[in-house]
Structure 1
Amino acid sequence: MKTFFTSLLGLCLLAATSCQSTKPSISKEVIPNDTRAQEMKDMKFGMFICWSLSTFSGKEWTGEELPVEFFRATECDTDQWARTAKEAGMNYIYFLTKHHDGFCLWDTKTTDFKITNAPLGKDVMAMLRKSCDKYGIKLGIYFSEGDWNWPEAERGKGGRGGNNPEVKKAQLKELLTEYGPIELIWFDHATGDGGLSHAETTRWVHQFQPNCFVGYNHGEPSGRLCLREMGKPGRLGDSEASKYNKEQEANYNGYLVAEFTYPLLPPHQGGAMWFYSLPKHDNLCHPASKIYEDYLKAVEYENIFSVNIGPDYKGRIRDIDVKTLQEVGTMIKENNK
């Protein structure tokens, strides 16, 4: 009997250890700035994924109050996302976890307005974490600081995302403690800071992941990552490389690395740009030659370059995007860049 219980205890401990080992570890050991900055620069090229309510509204900002079922996807292929990134020569993916509309793409405890209550019923952030690990891709996140569901918000209005600092902190804590190492956070200040300043937000992030690089697309400068939304490659401190962050880049001395991003979908009439647009735009895409040229400039200036992709209604990257990115990956490999 003693042997039986000893064996049973051993199996339970083994199972517990096995479960714990599947969760990506998060180091609290602080990496020196120079070393960590070089690690970021070495990432070079990555994918920025926007998939949320605006995928289905056909608009960049979805300001109206909507039921959770509005996000009507029933499929999602995060393996395709990570595999495409790998084939493109990319080293990281950062994922839109929450846009201004407040719809959360992870299984948050802070609201019922989340992906696990939508028809898909799955934690996409958790799925992507597994897919990134499978293909050797690092993971980062996009996070809108404001939320049109919060007190004092005005739906659809820029700079009017309301204030709810405790919920903002709770959501960031979930993302930073439950989904493994987060390489970078791309904070969107378009609807305000949510009642928690950028300095406070950066400190909060580093409490859980001190090596995470934090950036804000505009507003109060903070963090080590200079964001150039719709920007271009250029040396760090070159304000002409930024569109919305010019003054911050010119005057703030805390930046260690610059990132620039724009959509693979070129400008067009009607529909969204950062998200999947409309089926009639399915053949629109920047050429691989343009992406490769900007990649080379990013490497030259030690920037990191994030190409934005909008998965479609079925949670898959468009065929034309996959083909284009595969061509870029071939160019990078053949030229050993």
Structure 2
Amino acid sequence: MTFKRILSLLLIASVTTALCPAMAQQKAANKPLTSLQQDFVDLGLGMFIHYGMPTFMDQDWSDPDAALSLFRSPKLDADQWAKAAKSANMTYGCLTTKHHSGFPIWDTKTTPYNVMNTPLKRDVVKEYTDAFRKNGLKVMLYYSILDTHHGIRPNQITPAHIKMIKDQLTELLTNYGEITALIIDGWDAPWSRISYDDVPFEDLYHLIKTLQPNCLVMDLNAAKYPTEALFYTDIKSYEQGAGQFISKEHNKLPALACLPLQANWFWKTSFPTTPVKNVPELVDKFIIPYNGAYCNFILNVAPNANGLIDDNALEALKEIGKRYQRAANPPKLGTYAAPVISSNIAKHIRSNSSWSDDMNIMDFANDDNFGSSWSSNPTVSAPWYELTFDKAAPCNMVVLTAGSNRKATYSLSYFANGKWNPIEAKNEGEKKVNIFRFGRTWCEKIKVTISGFDSPPAIAELGVYNERK
């Protein structure tokens, strides 16, 4: 190889490295999920940043067809946000890249309805990621599945919508360097009503992990699912403003709690003259005790219409920094089951059981509602519960969420080719949520036989999954 050829290759390599820092960052060695979860818990405290079209409308949800001309922030300064976060001894930020009304604040190629076609004409996600990294802070992003501008809403999901979601996530996880976590919202919530089947959770989970294996996937769905297992998320979340509070005494999972410092998530014209939350109470009642219960706390601070954080919020953040220090030796997580991320193929299929309680018959245990239960009649000594598929289906995981009774032993079997066979699987869960993983098996029926109970057993949900491996 000639000297000229070698010099040319070296020049190309140096230019590629300079122009593609994101590519270099994303080639970090893959870490086990449990290590990433512990790292997240250890971060202690971060800044949630709700900024977008609602900022200019005095609303938390903006008009999905709001005029692009509204989006003006002449003094936008992401470096101010980052320095404010550091003043509070925060370790990371998380920015709302797209909220429920469907307005992306990055340079997306998926829709003309985005920040680059506003008077601002600046990629806010890039400015945020650059500023937070420059200040030594980790970067997380928020993304809403619900998108009322583009029609991604209940009963209207199309393949084109799913493609748009995948394309937008690909942009966010390709063009902005290493993303520590992606916080997803507007999915499988009572108010959004977009299920994990309408927009397939497992597909998006694997897409994210393919693009950035070390990126945690967090869905803000704690309200629906039991707190004893990770359903459709790498981190259990608690939105305190919606009445979701972690048990400091009993939580054993990596968790996130969130709350706005101001009165609402997005900025309101009243904010500069409205008191923010009480700092001593925030730190002493929530942040420090939650950190001691494997829970990272993310405090929302909403920039104003000029793109700056108001003075009263800046002062509160400085006060937090004087009162809060991340623990030198955060508590170490114990063992817990891997997240459940696949579609539940047992929802609403045919079910049968031994004699049940009159008001709690068999279909309550596979109605996708953890608030209802099948309950055994008190006189039955060997109760059982059974699910029947329309045709033989592959599965490799069963999740049994107990109802009122938690002291019981569950034995699983499956029916195929005219006979019942035992399912050999160790329970990875605990008394409330029992998780059984096993080799892929084709099943016509699944049966649970219950023993060792001291009161009539109940099943809130029996889920069956064909987990991708």
For the aligned pair, the TM-score class normalised by the smaller chain equals 0.7 to 0.9
In 2, distance between residues paired with 1:182 and 1:22? Answer: 10
In 2, distance between residues paired with 1:123 and 1:147? Answer: 20
In 2, distance between residues paired with 1:119 and 1:70? Answer: 8
Q: Quote the residue 2:162 is aligned against.
A: 165
Look up the SS of the partner of 1:148 in the other structure: coil
In 2, distance between residues paired with 1:229 and 1:83? Answer: 25
Larger RCO, structures 1/2 (Cα 8 Å, 6+ apart): 1
Q: Quote the residue 1:234 is aligned against.
A: 247
Does the CA-based 8 Å contact 2:201-2:232 persist in structure 1?
A: yes
Alignment partner of 2:321 out of 316, 329, 332: 329
Does the CA-based 8 Å contact 2:73-2:306 persist in structure 1?
A: yes
Within the alignment, does 1:214 sit opposite 2:217 as a pair? yes
Q: Whose Rg is larger?
A: 2
In 2, distance between residues paired with 1:148 and 1:216? Answer: 19
Over residues 74-133 of structure 1, what are the superposed CA-to-partner deviations in whole Å (9 max), with x where a residue is unaligned? 331100111111111111101100011111011011011111111111111111111111
Within the alignment, does 1:179 sit opposite 2:182 as a pair? no
Change in Cα spacing, 1:12 to 1:63, as seen in structure 2 (3 Å) is: same
Q: Quote the residue 1:33 is aligned against.
A: 33
Map of 1:127-206 to 2, 5 A cutoff? 127-151=127-151, 153=153, 159=154, 162-163=157-158, 164-189=161-186, 190-191=191-192, 192=194, 195-206=198-209
Task: Tell me how far 1:298 sits from its aligned partner.
Answer: 1.8
Alignment partner of 1:225 out of 235, 242, 257: 235
Task: Tell me how far 1:73 sits from its aligned partner.
Answer: 2.2
- Higher mean alpha-carbon deviation, 2-11 vs 117-126, is at 2-11
Task: Tell me how far 1:286 sits from its aligned partner.
Answer: 0.5
Which amino acid in structure 2 is aligned with residue 208 of structure 1? L
Q: Quote the residue 2:267 is aligned against.
A: 276
Q: Quote the residue 1:126 is aligned against.
A: 126
Q: Quote the residue 2:45 is aligned against.
A: 45
Which amino acid in structure 2 is aligned with residue 304 of structure 1? N
Look up the SS of the partner of 2:60 in the other structure: coil
Which amino acid in structure 2 is aligned with residue 326 of structure 1? K
Does the CA-based 8 Å contact 1:28-1:209 persist in structure 2?
A: no
In 2, distance between residues paired with 1:334 and 1:176? Answer: 28
In 1, distance between residues paired with 2:168 and 2:37? Answer: 26
Map of 1:66-85 to 2, 5 A cutoff? 66-85=66-85
Task: Tell me how far 1:299 sits from its aligned partner.
Answer: 1.6
Change in Cα spacing, 1:133 to 1:236, as seen in structure 2 (3 Å) is: farther
Task: Tell me how far 1:9 sits from its aligned partner.
Answer: 7.6
Does the CA-based 8 Å contact 1:72-1:119 persist in structure 2?
A: yes
- Answer 1 or 2: which has greater strand percent: 2
Does the CA-based 8 Å contact 1:148-1:160 persist in structure 2?
A: no
Which amino acid in structure 2 is aligned with residue 171 of structure 1? Q
Q: Quote the residue 1:259 is aligned against.
A: 256
Change in Cα spacing, 1:7 to 1:211, as seen in structure 2 (3 Å) is: closer
In 1, distance between residues paired with 2:101 and 2:303? Answer: 18
Task: Tell me how far 1:237 sits from its aligned partner.
Answer: 6.7
- Higher mean alpha-carbon deviation, 65-74 vs 171-180, is at 65-74
In 2, distance between residues paired with 1:214 and 1:14? Answer: 33
Moved over 4 A (4+): 2-13, 21-24, 159-163, 235-238, 333-337
Within the alignment, does 1:304 sit opposite 2:307 as a pair? no
Task: Tell me how far 1:20 sits from its aligned partner.
Answer: 3.1
Does the CA-based 8 Å contact 1:74-1:119 persist in structure 2?
A: no
- Answer 1 or 2: which has greater helix percent: 1
Q: Quote the residue 1:251 is aligned against.
A: none
- Higher mean alpha-carbon deviation, 71-80 vs 108-117, is at 71-80
Which amino acid in structure 2 is aligned with residue 60 of structure 1? D
In 1, distance between residues paired with 2:246 and 2:260? Answer: 15
Q: Quote the residue 1:247 is aligned against.
A: none
Identify unmatched segments of 5+ residues in structure 1. Answer: 154-158, 239-254, 267-272
Which amino acid in structure 1 is aligned with residue 82 of structure 2? A
- Higher mean alpha-carbon deviation, 55-64 vs 229-238, is at 229-238
Change in Cα spacing, 1:286 to 1:29, as seen in structure 2 (3 Å) is: same
Does the CA-based 8 Å contact 2:262-2:275 persist in structure 1?
A: yes
Look up the SS of the partner of 1:47 in the other structure: strand
- Higher mean alpha-carbon deviation, 18-27 vs 128-137, is at 18-27
- Higher mean alpha-carbon deviation, 162-171 vs 279-288, is at 279-288
**TM-score of the pair, normalised by structure 1:** 0.82
**Cα RMSD, aligned residues only:** 2.9
Change in Cα spacing, 1:321 to 1:23, as seen in structure 2 (3 Å) is: farther
Identify unmatched segments of 5+ residues in structure 2. Answer: 226-230, 330-469
Task: Tell me how far 1:333 sits from its aligned partner.
Answer: 4.4
In 1, distance between residues paired with 2:36 and 2:85? Answer: 22
Task: Tell me how far 1:199 sits from its aligned partner.
Answer: 2.6
Task: Tell me how far 1:4 sits from its aligned partner.
Answer: 9.4
Change in Cα spacing, 1:214 to 1:296, as seen in structure 2 (3 Å) is: same
In 2, distance between residues paired with 1:33 and 1:236? Answer: 24
Task: Tell me how far 1:24 sits from its aligned partner.
Answer: 5.6
In 2, distance between residues paired with 1:185 and 1:335? Answer: 24
**TM-score of the pair, normalised by structure 2:** 0.60
In 1, distance between residues paired with 2:31 and 2:326? Answer: 33
